């Protein structure tokens, strides 16, 4: 009898040990699972769409660096690409997309860095809708560009004077609520005293421009020139290539859509010979929310 009781006790102790081990094993598996999920959460990436042209891509990356989300190599500068990112603590994945397509692609990414002209055209207010925006001391001033050697032609000087007028400065200030910032230091009355406007009567000046805000601003310029019987013919383009080609080949007199870093890069890549005739305004580039509506995912 004593042997039978002892056997039962030994069996009970063995079963207790098995249950205890099973319970511990289950608890360990759950902890490992939680740890794996936490690790996965920490390594999940954030997607940001950026322009794919050289200068605007670098400009977007410089903005993200300014906001503290990435660090670029010290020598990256205005030709930076994602390959020049030295530190990416937020594990951001970049999608390089044609600049004009970024507003429509915004819904497919967590965030996108968009040029103000395309943002405005898509119904976005760069000041109110962006989650981060370039400072006003931007080096990316939008210019009137012409074929090299034509800068001092009378009709180009007349065009520049009208675009640098107080009327244009006031129009930009009053209509874009900080999304477009005039940079003309000494606005004119719209006219250049060195130009013989009588000799230009009946002349037509042709200019390529992006729809917003450039063509809108040029509508004011058109009225100023019309007072001297000069016609300003505005042709709108929605890309960054044709406006330079049509000026370089002499089809049009000037264009108004780009900044100097982009123009310099375009000349180098395409063998064109365009120069800046005047700097008119800055359009701060901004970071916009797509799938994310706040910056919390980047904190």
Does a structural domain hold residue 151? Answer: yes
Report the pLDDT value the prediction gives residue 230, as an integer from 0 to 100.
98
- Answer whether 155's CB lies under 8 Å from 200's CB: yes
Angle between helices 166-175 and 216-226 (to 10 degrees): 150
Question: Looking at the structure, do residues 291 and 278 belong to the same domain, yes or no?
Answer: no
DSSP 192-212: -TTS-HHHHTT-EEEEEE-II
Question: Looking at the structure, do residues 236 and 178 belong to the same domain, yes or no?
Answer: yes
| Spatial separation of the C-alpha atoms in residues 129 and 173, rounded to whole Å | 18
- What is the mean pLDDT of the segment spanning 27-47? 49
Per-residue pLDDT tens over the stretch 97-129: 999 999 999 999 999 999 998 999 899 999 899
**CATH number of the domain bearing residue 86:** 3.40.190.10
Residue 17 has pLDDT above 70, yes or no: no
Please state, as a whole number, how many other Cβ atoms lie within 10 Å of the Cβ of residue 13: 10
Beta-carbon contacts of residue 268 (< 8 Å; ≥ 6 apart): none
Per-residue pLDDT tens over the stretch 153-209: 999 999 999 999 999 999 999 999 888 999 999 999 999 999 999 999 999 999 999
Per-residue pLDDT tens over the stretch 174-188: 999 888 999 999 999
- What is the mean pLDDT of the segment spanning 21-33? 37
DSSP state of 82: G
Question: Looking at the structure, do residues 145 and 273 belong to the same domain, yes or no?
Answer: yes
- What is the mean pLDDT of the segment spanning 64-73? 96
Does a structural domain hold residue 41? Answer: no
Report the pLDDT value the prediction gives residue 21, as an integer from 0 to 100.
36
Q: Does residue 139 or residue 41 have the better pLDDT?
A: 139
Residue 93 has pLDDT above 60, yes or no: yes
Range of the domain at 201: 141-282
Report the pLDDT value the prediction gives residue 299, as an integer from 0 to 100.
87
Report the pLDDT value the prediction gives residue 137, as an integer from 0 to 100.
63
**What pLDDT band is residue 138 in, cutting at 50, 70 and 90?**
confident
Question: Looking at the structure, do residues 58 and 123 belong to the same domain, yes or no?
Answer: yes
Tokens 């670098």 sit on residue: 58
Does a structural domain hold residue 31? Answer: no
Report the pLDDT value the prediction gives residue 29, as an integer from 0 to 100.
38
Beta-carbon contacts of residue 223 (< 8 Å; ≥ 6 apart): none
Does a structural domain hold residue 161? Answer: yes
- What is the mean pLDDT of the segment spanning 25-47? 48
Question: Looking at the structure, do residues 155 and 268 belong to the same domain, yes or no?
Answer: yes
Report the pLDDT value the prediction gives residue 269, as an integer from 0 to 100.
95
Question: Looking at the structure, do residues 165 and 265 belong to the same domain, yes or no?
Answer: yes
- Number of structural domains the chain divides into: 2
DSSP 86-140: EE-TT-EEEEEE-GGGHHHHGGGSSEEEE-HHHHHHTT--HHHH-SEE--TT-S-
Beta-carbon contacts of residue 273 (< 8 Å; ≥ 6 apart): 147, 148, 248, 267
| Spatial separation of the C-alpha atoms in residues 170 and 155, rounded to whole Å | 23
Residue 30 has pLDDT above 70, yes or no: no
């Amino acid at each position: 009898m004593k042997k039978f009781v002892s056997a039962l006790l030994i069996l009970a102790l063995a079963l207790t040990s098995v249950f205890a081990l099973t319970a511990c094993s289950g608890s360990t598996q759950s902890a490992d699972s939680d740890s794996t999920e936490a690790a996965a959460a920490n390594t999940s990436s954030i997607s940001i769409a950026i322009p794919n042209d050289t200068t605007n891509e670098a400009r977007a990356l410089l903005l993200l660096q300014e906001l503290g989300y990435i660090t670029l190599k010290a020598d990256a500068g205005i030709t930076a690409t994602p390959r020049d990112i030295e530190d990416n603590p937020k594990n951001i994945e970049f999608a390089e997309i044609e600049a004009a397509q970024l507003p429509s692609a915004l819904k497919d990414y967590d965030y996108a860095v968009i040029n103000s002209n395309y943002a405005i055209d898509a119904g976005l207010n760069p000041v109110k809708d962006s989650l981060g925006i370039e400072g006003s001391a931007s080096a990316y001033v939008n210019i009137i560009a012409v074929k090299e050697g034509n800068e001092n032609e009378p009709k180009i000087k007349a065009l520049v004077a009208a675009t640098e007028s107080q009327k244009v400065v006031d129009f930009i200030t009053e209509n874009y609520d900080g999304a477009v910032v005039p940079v003309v230091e000494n606005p004119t009355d719209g006219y250049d005293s060195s130009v013989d406007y009588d000799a230009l009567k009946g002349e037509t000046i042709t200019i390529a421009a992006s729809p917003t805000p450039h063509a809108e601003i040029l509508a004011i310029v058109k009225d100023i020139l019309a007072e001297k019987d000069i016609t300003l013919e505005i042709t709108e383009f929605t890309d960054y290539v044709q406006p330079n080609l049509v000026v370089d080949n002499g089809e049009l007199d000037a264009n108004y859509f780009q900044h100097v870093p982009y123009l310099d890069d375009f000349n180098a890549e395409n063998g064109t010979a365009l120069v800046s005739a005047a700097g008119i305004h800055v359009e701060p580039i901004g970071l916009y929310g797509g799938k994310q509506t706040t910056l919390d995912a980047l904190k």
